[in-house]
């Protein structure tokens, strides 16, 4: 006869070994960019479909990147017909004959696709705040954009060894635990101009809109993005009166492996140390890039790390007004500043 304690341990082991229900098992999305020739960089767009037949909220995101990646982005389509990007920066309707991976050496058009998740590091492990989920529709068309750099130019010293690839693992939530949906911010300054020497450029985004909208927003994570001339990225909160809070909420020095700053719900720590970051009605964010350009050339906004520069901010927030909300803040070449909330 078995000892009761031993029998209990065996039963406990059996309980632990029970697999998760099918609807809660991790969802994997992959993008295989292949080899990147030395001295070059490669940007590729991969049309994929969300594999589940029901709606899913994701509360935990992991992204694994093999190779010297500059960035990996996940997008979903905006309202309207689904159109995939072509190599010449045009867009073509989705269909069974338009599913192949394709070159896309440019910023994705926000009127066609909205950001869902982003990483610039080899291993992103992002746990959203309790009760907050990224919503996905059944068999929803998605787009993964990868940018691999194998140039080793300047301070980047990037190298792609073997075949470049990325894998995303999305962890579904129990539907009953979802209390809010998360949205993504893509803030982009297209007026970037980097002359010889050290220079800094800042931009603002009124994330919560006018104070009269009475919208409060909790920021879960931020990460900054520039090319290899970038030496410092900073973010501050902007107040409803238009002034800037003196204490930064994000800082990153250098270019390689920019920080993906996750903010907790801890009020006892400042945001810069991972504490809570809340924007009150009328508040927003200001981000600034500092570059060191050791050449005699001036570099304009653009996607190529050797020929162009960027100053982009990615953010993730809640609550949203709709399950599929996203936001982009674009400072256009003509000087216009456009904030668009996509539902």
The tens digit of pLDDT for each residue in 129-157 reads 999 999 999 999 999 999 888 876 544 45
78 CB-near residues (< 8 Å, 6+ apart): 110, 111, 112, 113, 114, 342
Percent of the chain with pLDDT over 70: 92
What span, in angstroms and rounded, lies between the C-alpha atoms of 158 and 216?
40
CA distances from 304 to 121, 156, 253 (A): 18, 13, 21
Nearest to 178 by CA among 132, 220, 217: 132
The tens digit of pLDDT for each residue in 41-50 reads 899 999 999 9
pLDDT at 87 (0 to 100): 93
Please, which residues bridge with residue 169 across strands? Answer: 28, 62
Angle at 66 between CA 99 and CA 227, to 5 degrees: 90
Query: Is the predicted pLDDT of residue 334 greater than 50, yes or no?
Result: yes
343 CB-near residues (< 8 Å, 6+ apart): 79, 321, 322, 324, 325
Query: Is the predicted pLDDT of residue 165 greater than 80, yes or no?
Result: yes
Structure tokens at 174: 């129990």
pLDDT at 320 (0 to 100): 97
Conformation bin of residue 175: beta by default, left when phi > 0, alpha when psi is -120 to 50: alpha
Q: Contact 326/227 with Cβ under 8 angstroms?
A: no
In this chain, the answer to whether the domains covering 24-177 and 180-342 adopt an identical fold is yes
**CB-CB neighbours of 88 under 10 Å:** 8
The tens digit of pLDDT for each residue in 191-223 reads 999 999 999 999 999 999 999 999 999 999 999
- Give 100-139 as a DSSP string: S-EE--SPPPTTTEEEEEEE-SSEEEEEPPTTEEEEE-TT
Please tell us whether the domain made up of 180-342 is placed in CATH 2.60.120.230: yes
Domain coordinates of the chain in residue numbers? 24-177, 180-342
The tens digit of pLDDT for each residue in 88-110 reads 999 999 988 899 999 999 989 99
pLDDT at 1 (0 to 100): 46
What span, in angstroms and rounded, lies between the C-alpha atoms of 246 and 241?
14
Angle at 103 between CA 87 and CA 125, to 5 degrees: 135
- The pTM (predicted TM-score) of the whole model is 0.89
CATH code assigned to 24-177: 2.60.120
pLDDT at 240 (0 to 100): 94
The tens digit of pLDDT for each residue in 2-56 reads 455 554 554 455 555 567 787 889 999 999 988 888 888 899 999 999 999 999 9
């Amino acid at each position: 006869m078995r000892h009761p304690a031993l029998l209990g341990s065996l039963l406990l082991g059996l309980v632990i070994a029970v697999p998760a229900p099918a609807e809660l098992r991790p969802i994997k999305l992959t993008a295989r960019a292949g080899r990147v020739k030395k001295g070059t960089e490669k940007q590729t767009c991969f049309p994929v479909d969300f594999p589940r037949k029901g709606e899913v909220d994701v509360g935990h995101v992991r992204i694994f990147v093999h190779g010297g990646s500059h960035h990996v982005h996940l997008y979903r389509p905006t309202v309207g017909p689904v159109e995939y990007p072509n190599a010449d920066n045009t867009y073509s309707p989705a269909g069974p004959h338009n599913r192949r991976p394709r070159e896309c050496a440019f910023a994705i058009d926000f009127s066609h696709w909205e950001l869902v998740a982003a990483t610039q590091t080899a291993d992103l492990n992002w746990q959203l705040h309790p009760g907050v989920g990224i919503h996905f529709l059944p068999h929803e068309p998605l787009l993964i954009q990868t940018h691999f750099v194998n140039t080793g130019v300047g301070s980047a010293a990037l190298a792609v060894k073997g075949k470049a690839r990325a894998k995303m693992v999305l962890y579904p939530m129990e539907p009953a635990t979802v209390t809010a949906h998360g949205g993504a911010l893509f803030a982009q300054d297209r007026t970037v101009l980097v002359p010889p020497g050290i220079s800094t450029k800042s931009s603002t985004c009124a994330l919560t809109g006018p104070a009269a909208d009475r919208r409060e927003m909790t920021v879960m994570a931020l990460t900054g993005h520039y090319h290899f001339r970038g030496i410092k990225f900073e973010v501050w909160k902007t107040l409803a009166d238009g002034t800037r809070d003196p204490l930064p909420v994000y800082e990153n020095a250098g270019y390689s492996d920019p920080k993906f700053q996750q903010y907790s719900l801890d009020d006892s720590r400042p945001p810069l140390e991972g504490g809570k970051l809340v924007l009150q009605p009328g508040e927003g964010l200001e981000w600034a890039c500092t570059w060191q350009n050791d050449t005699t050339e001036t570099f304009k906004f653009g996607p190529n790390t050797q020929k162009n520069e960027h100053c982009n901010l990615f953010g993730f927030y809640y609550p949203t007004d709709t399950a599929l909300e996203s936001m982009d803040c674009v400072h256009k070449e003509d000087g216009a500043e456009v904030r668009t909330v996509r539902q």
